[in-house]
Amino acid sequence: MSPKKLKPQYLGVIRREKRKSPPRVQPRFNISRPGMVLLKGFVKPEDQIGMVSMCRQPGPGGFYEPSFKNGAKLNLWMMSLGKNWDPALRSYGPTRLFDGAQAPTIPDAFKMIAQTANSTASEFPQINPDVCIVNYYTNSGKLGLHQDKDESKSSLAKGLPFISISIGDTAEFLFGDTRDKDQATKINLESGDVLILGGESRLLFHGVSHVKTNTAPSWLKEEMSIRPGRVNLTFRQY
């Protein structure tokens, strides 16, 4: 993907990384739970850099600090691509209420990466993503345990998966059968990891307890240097 030309120093780093690392066998973890697949380090470094740089491009519909219905902040920055998701109304629409901005389209390059991950985890049906919610967490960012259940009835009934891509600093990610964080399982989501939740796990409770400062890969740090933290993109079919 080439939203802008990669700076030569990145290409050098990526080539060096490739020379150092043994041939990649795609690591994959099922986390012993039907409907949940974690593809470790799935997104290539150049694609991670490309995704971050595209998310940075300012324009209408860009990042804002959303609130719930009760006025409480979500502790992250968000933008919606494809359709706008409103966390206060818990619904999707073409524009967002507070500034009237239309949701920007999902870049084809983003869709391609999500769909490649989707087909790699072949137990899931293939989705055609029409929504991508991008969250940006600073190092004090977090997200309480919740279910993703605002998509269409048919999408949820079919258990169509959503595909979650993590870039930047590592998150401690929680998941479980209830909203109780003490009973939740904790895993690390690192830069390049793809988590897919579908089928029986489509309505799993999940959240981010914290983001670990200064844990992004060194080759990504320069791209993230102005705003260190974590970017998460979830792709869904409404």
Residue reference for tokens 């039907």: 34
232 interacts with, out of Mn ion, ligand SIN, none, CB within 5 to 8 A per kind: ligand SIN
Residue 76 in contact with residue 137, Cβ under 8 Å?
A: yes
Provide, rounded to whole angstroms, the least separation between the CB of residue 38 and ligand SIN.
Answer: 11
Residue reference for tokens 């150049």: 46
**Residue 175: helix, strand or coil by DSSP?**
strand
Residues 144-163 close enough to bind Mn ion by CB under 5 A: 148
Residues 6+ apart with CB under 8 A from 201: 33, 34, 35, 36
Residue closer to Mn ion, measured from CB, 45 or 207 = 207
Annotated binding residue at 47? no
Annotated binding residue at 210? no
CB-closest chain residue to ligand SIN: 232
Residue 168 in contact with residue 197, Cβ under 8 Å?
A: no
Report CA-CA distances (Å) from 215 to 23, 36, 59, 172, 188. Answer: 24, 24, 29, 12, 11
Residues that bind ligand SIN (CB under 6 A): 135, 143, 164, 171, 173, 189, 206, 208, 232, 234
Provide, rounded to whole angstroms, the least separation between the CB of residue 204 and ligand SIN.
Answer: 10
Beta bridge partners of residue 176, listed in sequence order: 205
Residue closer to ligand SIN, measured from CB, 13 or 231 = 231
Provide, rounded to whole angstroms, the least separation between the CB of residue 115 and ligand SIN.
Answer: 19
Provide, rounded to whole angstroms, the least separation between the CB of residue 6 and ligand SIN.
Answer: 25
Q: What is the distance between the alpha carbons of residues 76 and 234, in angstroms, rounded to a whole number?
A: 14
List residues forming the annotated binding site. Answer: 146, 148, 206
- Per CB under 5 A, residues contacting Mn ion are 148
